[in-house]
Structure 1
Amino acid sequence: MPNAHHSPLSRRGVLAAGGAVGLGVALAACGNSDDDKGEPGAADDVKAGPWSFKDDRGETAEAGSVPKSIVAFTGTAAALHDYGIEVKGVFGPTTTKDGKPDIQAGDLDVTEVEILGNVWGEFNVEKYAALAPELLVTAQWVEGELWYVPEQSKDKILKLAPSVALLAAETTVPKAIRRHADLAESLGADLGAKKVTDAKARFEKAAGRLRAAAKSRPEIRVLVGSASQDLFYVSLAEMSADTLYFQELGVRFVEPKVNAQGFFEELSWENVDKYPADIIMMDNRSSALQPNALTSKPTWARLPAVGAGQVVPRVTEPIYSYDKCAPILEDLAAAIEKARKVA
């Protein structure tokens, strides 16, 4: 993930660096099934013949048969993997500098996929073409823009295969999960597999737990943060799919005075204590500085939430499967349940 803090703050670059966007809708249900299969996977009776899928841009991707050679943004590929749909290539944060899987790779075996680009602005069109792609899948944070598909090579890329974009903004976690599941099902996934239905049940239980925790601790205020070397970003909860959903469940967030783009407020490290908070949720992406890298900043160390050990990771770009989103709800519920009022 590139550090867009070092370049002019375009709306797209800002999203890649420190903030996340989204407006939302309420929980969308996923169909149940009595199927007792132990693992998710492509159904044996995938329909032959033409395939189509209407994406969140309102555009319909079409193919003569169900696409098999799929290339996707890393986090989207990880969600498809959880439903048993594998991709041939990925783009976006996939491996860290030491070669380990990036947080956004989820359970993907990063050694088994072609990595077309690992940072912002990187997408190897020649490698993409060599995969004979039948479908390109990514997220949409800003209308008209495909996440991690470089603007300068977008036209070449989109000529090679149909594309699908799934909302990461103007949605909430449950609806985003549903849309990823819809796509996976169209590609042959069995949503009745036991692993999928068990994960859905866990997610719904976790949502109930978070709602109960927020209701029982109304005094707890949560700050949504992201750190760079020079600035600390405080995000507005309602502008992100995850935190908007948490807000709908009753979590109370700090409300910063956002910039003109509306997503977050930039604070100097001298002013990082502007907003009292009992819990700080810190952007866990590889593009952001993590709490262990902030120990040299005295103003950070003096924050009450830091002193109380009430700093928790924020999965800023969730992998939209029930399996990966349930723990996010559980972890925030646990943090609120045991938090001390410190601000």
Structure 2
Amino acid sequence: MPLRAYPALSRRGLLAAAGGLGAASVLAACGGADEEEPEGAGGASGPFAFLDERDGQEVELESVPTKVVAFTGLAAALYDYGVEVAAVFGPTTLADGAPDLQAGRLPVEELTVLGNAWGEFDVEQFAELGPQLIVSHYYEGFDLWFVPEDRLEEVEALAPGIGIEVSKPKLDQIIDRHASLAKALGADLESEANSAAVERFGAAAGSVAAAFGENPMKVLAVGAWPDGLYIANPPTFNVLAKCVELGVDLVVPDNPDQNGYWELLSWENADKYEADAIFLDIRTNGIPADVLLADYPTWAALPAVAAGHVYGWNAEPVYSHVGGAIELERIAEGLAAAKPLGG
């Protein structure tokens, strides 16, 4: 989200850095055999009810909606459970057409993206789809994520909206909420693929605990932007909080911003915190590791960087059991590969 998941000194700066709104193709229910071809939408019937976490009120419909429009990251989670939506909006593709990180395993080549930048939301095409429901993530103070504020009333006049809170609950709770929405939309959570995904998530969590237990060290999670190095505050990022719960010794910054997400360090002061391993936010709006190494000497001089102990983490993972597992597996691999610099 803006002031939280995305480091920015002002809301305007945050929104400028944030990514993109899009809308996409008409999709139907899906079923497949594994995580790449999700299995599960069984065509639920009967009334539909689901909690909108923006205001604590249930959204009730006479029947299960078949024309659902979703924020790309949320649509990616639904896709992992076997539910495809009528359209998407949010960061979907990169300039070369490759999937954005938040698109997860969505078949982006099949999507019609109406806008791939913050503030772009084609309300006219949204209306033409005949939407029955719009769903997005919710961060306190920002309503439906990636729906332009000046178009929100118009959008929700065309279809009721649901927001899923992703800034405060624990990772497991957020994933369970996405799974519950998928079930409400017709996913079979007991399918072979979905059952395997739950097991994979549990195993991935175990691998993080095991990797750190066998190889304890001081770990620093950061994001890198031109204005400085952002030190992530573990309690306010659900992925990092999960790692702490699993025993990982993550640096807690002593001067986070007013939202509690980051401490901004100038590049001259990038060495404020000592760490044996650094996990760099790999979202596409940040500076990638190779550019940091080539163009930012104070980064290159950090002991963990010089030792090659730089690994990736994603501050906005796809909140499905598959997506959560992939993120925890990525972190576990880094923890297993690094070594304490003291010996």
TM interval, shorter chain, is: 0.7 to 0.9
Among residues 245, 248, 251, which one is paired with 1:251 in the alignment? 248
Which whole-Å CA distance do the structure 1 matches of 2:329 and 2:142 have between them? 34
Among residues 225, 231, 235, which one is paired with 1:228 in the alignment? 225
Q: Does residue 99 of structure 2 align to residue 101 of structure 1?
A: yes
Q: Does residue 142 of structure 2 align to residue 135 of structure 1?
A: no
Identify the residue that residue 109 of structure 2 maps to in structure 1.
111
Which whole-Å CA distance do the structure 2 matches of 1:11 and 1:235 have between them? 21
Identify the residue that residue 10 of structure 2 maps to in structure 1.
9
Identify the residue that residue 195 of structure 1 maps to in structure 2.
193
Which whole-Å CA distance do the structure 2 matches of 1:17 and 1:122 have between them? 12
Distance 1:191 1:5, change over 3 A: closer
Which whole-Å CA distance do the structure 1 matches of 2:283 and 2:7 have between them? 17
Q: Does residue 173 of structure 2 align to residue 171 of structure 1?
A: no
Identify the residue that residue 300 of structure 1 maps to in structure 2.
299
User: Can you list the C-alpha shifts for 1:253-280, whole angstroms capped at 9, x where unaligned?
Assistant: 1111212232111111111111111121
Q: CA deviation at 1:8?
A: 5.6
Identify the residue that residue 91 of structure 1 maps to in structure 2.
89
Identify the residue that residue 213 of structure 2 maps to in structure 1.
215
SS at match of 1:159: helix
The alignment yields a C-alpha RMSD, in angstroms, of 2.6
Q: CA deviation at 1:117?
A: 2.8
Identify the residue that residue 270 of structure 2 maps to in structure 1.
272
Q: CA deviation at 1:301?
A: 0.7
Contact 1:37–1:193 (8 Å) recurs in 2: no
1:170 maps to amino acid = K
2:318 maps to amino acid = I
Q: CA deviation at 1:342?
A: 2.1
Instruction: Provide structure 1 residue ranges, at least 5 long, that are not aligned to the other structure.
Output: 19-35
Contact 1:69–1:134 (8 Å) recurs in 2: yes
Distance 1:114 1:17, change over 3 A: closer
Among residues 210, 234, 237, which one is paired with 1:240 in the alignment? 237
Moved over 4 A (4+): 1-8, 14-18, 36-39
Query: TM-score, normalising length from structure 1?
Result: 0.87
SS at match of 1:199: helix
SS at match of 1:111: helix
Distance 1:5 1:75, change over 3 A: closer
Identity of aligned residues (%): 42
Distance 1:5 1:166, change over 3 A: closer
1:323 maps to amino acid = V
Name whichever of 6-15 and 95-104 sits farther off. 6-15
Distance 1:243 1:118, change over 3 A: same
Distance 1:210 1:153, change over 3 A: same
Distance 1:329 1:287, change over 3 A: same
Identify the residue that residue 55 of structure 1 maps to in structure 2.
52
Distance 1:335 1:231, change over 3 A: same
Which whole-Å CA distance do the structure 2 matches of 1:187 and 1:140 have between them? 19
Which whole-Å CA distance do the structure 1 matches of 2:221 and 2:250 have between them? 8
Which whole-Å CA distance do the structure 2 matches of 1:260 and 1:11 have between them? 16
For residues 305-316 of structure 1, the aligned pairs below 5 Å read 305-316=304-315
SS at match of 2:108: coil
Distance 1:12 1:240, change over 3 A: farther
1:304 maps to amino acid = P
Instruction: Provide structure 2 residue ranges, at least 5 long, that are not aligned to the other structure.
Output: 20-31
Among residues 153, 157, 160, which one is paired with 2:158 in the alignment? 160
Which whole-Å CA distance do the structure 2 matches of 1:41 and 1:5 have between them? 33
Which whole-Å CA distance do the structure 1 matches of 2:317 and 2:185 have between them? 21
SS at match of 1:215: helix
2:14 maps to amino acid = G
Which whole-Å CA distance do the structure 2 matches of 1:40 and 1:286 have between them? 29
Which whole-Å CA distance do the structure 2 matches of 1:222 and 1:8 have between them? 25
Which whole-Å CA distance do the structure 2 matches of 1:136 and 1:306 have between them? 43
Identify the residue that residue 33 of structure 1 maps to in structure 2.
none
Which whole-Å CA distance do the structure 2 matches of 1:16 and 1:129 have between them? 28
Which whole-Å CA distance do the structure 1 matches of 2:337 and 2:108 have between them? 36
2:252 maps to amino acid = E
Q: CA deviation at 1:63?
A: 1.9
Q: CA deviation at 1:109?
A: 1.3
1:248 maps to amino acid = E
Identify the residue that residue 30 of structure 1 maps to in structure 2.
none
Identify the residue that residue 180 of structure 1 maps to in structure 2.
178
Which whole-Å CA distance do the structure 2 matches of 1:161 and 1:145 have between them? 15
SS at match of 2:258: coil
Which whole-Å CA distance do the structure 1 matches of 2:52 and 2:102 have between them? 22
Distance 1:314 1:148, change over 3 A: same
Which whole-Å CA distance do the structure 1 matches of 2:62 and 2:198 have between them? 32
